[in-house]
Structures are given as structure tokens and as C-alpha cells.
Amino acid sequence: MAFTFAAFCYMLALVLCAALIFFAIWHIIAFDELRTDFKNPIDQCNPVHALVLPEYSIHSLFCVMFLCAQEWLTLGLNVPLLFYHFWRYFHCPADGPELAYDPLVVMNADTLSYCQKEAWCKLAFYLLSFFYYLYCMISALVSS
């Protein structure tokens, strides 16, 4: 039983992952509100924008931590999403990430369903990784 750096990483990741799950749920609710016509896209997209950068940075932080802790498997699991985030961040309309969810196009049925799917997938991913981190944390604590 030893409190290694890896164990610390997993503990931190566990906490932050909970935050990410909340973000994902928030996204799902936001897009659902849009679809059911409760909110104006301009009002809705601004708070969504505010969450985009924290989410991306938290996730990048994981990856950096796991890199430092030399947890290659965990890192490998996270890298695809990391790349997706990078792509999403830099592949935005003209002025950058601010318009990752562009109120002008978000109401397009395709875009909206894409955003919804994205949010659901992320929720699933974060949930799974939450339990994975939990398991890894315990095993890291117990193993040595």
C-alpha cells in the first residue's frame, strides 16, 4: 500500500471526471432545450461556449498527468478524445473556439443532432472512465 503519483493522478482524475460528467449532462440538457424550443440559440450557445474551454483543458490536464505518471494504457484510452478536442477547437469558423457551437447553424437539424450525439457519447465515455479511474486508483493503492 503506497500512495504513488499514479494513485494521486487517478484520485484527481476521479474528481475532475465527475465535473466532466456534469458538463456533459449540462450539454445534453442545453441541446434538448434548443430542440424543444425552450430557448433562443443565442442565449443558449453563450453558456455552452463558456463550458467548452474548461472541459477541453480539464481533459488535457488528465492526459498530461497520465503521461507524467506513465500510465500508458489510460493515456492511450484518452488520446483519441484529446485529438478530437484539438480538432474541434481548431476546426471552428473563422474566429476560433468561441463559435464551436455557432448559434447560426446549431438549429440545423444535422448540426443539432450531431451536437446531441456528441454530448451523449461524451457522457458515456466519462462515465466509463470514471469507473475505470476508480478501479485504477484502488488497484494502484492496493498493488504495491
Chain positions contacting another protein, by CB under 8 A: 34-35, 37, 40-43, 93-95, 98-99, 103-104, 107-110, 112
Nearer to another protein, 29 or 138 (CB): 29
**What is the nearest approach in angstroms of another protein to the Cβ of residue 54?**
21
Alpha-carbon distance 91 to 76, whole Å? Answer: 23
Nearest distance from residue 39's CB to another protein, in Å? 9
For residues 92 and 127, which CB has a smaller minimum distance to another protein in the complex? 92
Amino acid at 66: F
Contacts of 4 (CB under 8 A, 6+ apart): 69, 140, 144
Q: Which is nearer to another protein, 43 or 144 (CB)?
A: 43
Residue (of 68, 82, 66) closest to 122 by Cα position: 82
